[in-house]
Amino acid sequence: MAELMCNPRRIQVRATRRLAEAWEQEVRRSVVLSGDVAGEARVRERLAAAVGAPTLAALSRVLGRTEGWEEGDDGVFRHPLDGGVISFDPDSRELEIVARVSARVEASGEAVAVVRAEVDDLLEASGAGTYYDDAWGGHTRERAEREAGSGAEAALDEAAERARARARDRVEKTHERKVRNQARRRAEGTFETTKRERERELRAQAADLLTVIGDTGRGLFHRALAEAYRDAILAYARTHRATGITCSEDGGVVDIQFEVEV
């Protein structure tokens, strides 16, 4: 025998709830700052006065044609070193070697404010349930009413949580800038302290490095200076119609011979 089922009936329950709450809330922000810092050490040496104008002019030509040396718009010749640079200024006759060591520095700051948050809303929600007149499948009116009531209460709970979340967001937005600025100021203070300490360390490292690259730089310059001496002497010999001009180099020593009638 077939079982007959009636059409389902629907019950809807509407519920309201006054949500009035207040609480203390932390607004916390962190700021991280980073930047490059460097330490330098330098030494300046003046070319001896005994180096005459012809040799100085020849030196500029030698530096101009030697690989690695570059003449800047300021007329200063520079050559990169591993961790620094060597430069020569023909006008001041000054040789300068600079060692530079750099590092990345990072510092953070945090600020916290405890503020009052509150919510005062009248919440509304609804829930629904179904039943059959013949209570088919256990779906009685009483059960439907309970389901509708439970659904409305659950919806009110969700609405309450959303209201609390909105209140928390309002508090965050209201105080965020002030708290973040406090965190930034603390980060900046820490960063400056860390930067100064790191710069002192880097200057000490640069001083040690200067000893190493100083020898390399002077070697580069003195080779160019020796070549300039050679060019200046040979130019002198040719200008004075010298004869028997010979030029040889052995172990870094240049030997130039010629004869000039007096």
Residue 255: phi, psi to the nearest 5? -115, 115
**Average per-residue pLDDT in the chain?**
88
Based on the domain organization, do 47 and 101 belong to the same domain? yes
Specify the pLDDT at position 37: 96
DSSP letter (8 states) at residue 2: P
pLDDT attached to residue 230: 81
Chosen domain end from 157, 187, 217: 187
Q: Judge if 204 and 235 occupy the same domain.
A: yes
Residue 224 lies in a domain: yes
pLDDT score recorded for residue 257: 65
Cα dist. 86→51, 172, 221 in Å? 19, 55, 9
- Tell me the pLDDT band of 2, cut-offs 50, 70 and 90: very low
State the pLDDT at residue 247: 64
Which residues lie closer than 8 Å to 161 by C-beta, 6 or more apart? Answer: none
**pLDDT tens digits, residue range 61-106?**
999 999 999 999 999 999 999 999 999 999 999 999 999 999 999 9
Q: What number of other Cβ atoms are within 10 A of residue 46's Cβ?
A: 9
pTM above 0.85, yes or no: no
Asked if 240 contacts 260 with a C-beta cutoff of 8 angstroms, the reply is yes
User: Are residue 21 and residue 130 in the same domain, yes or no?
Assistant: yes
Last residue of a domain, one of 137, 167, 187: 187
Please write the tens of the pLDDT for every residue from 26-45.
999 999 999 999 999 999 99
- Tokens coding 166: 């909105």
Categorize the per-residue pLDDT at 258 as very low, low, confident or very high, splitting at 50, 70 and 90. low
The first and second tokens of residue 249, run together, are: 């180099």
In a domain, residue 111? The reply is no
Q: Does 202 reside within a domain?
A: yes
Which has the higher per-residue pLDDT, 33 or 237?
33
Regarding whether 131 and 245 lie in a shared domain, the answer is no
Number of domains in the chain: 2
3 found inside a domain: no
Instruction: Give the CA distances from residue 162 to residues 81, 144, 158, 176, in Å, rounded to whole numbers and listed in that order.
Output: 64, 27, 6, 20
Candidates 132, 153, 136; CA nearest to 13 is: 153
Domain residue limits at 92 = 34-105+197-258
93 shares its domain with 203: yes
Q: Collapse the DSSP code of 214 into the 3-class scheme (helix H, G, I; strand E, B; otherwise coil) and give the result.
A: helix
Q: Are both 21 and 123 inside the same structural domain?
A: yes
Of residues 232 and 244, more confidently modeled: 232
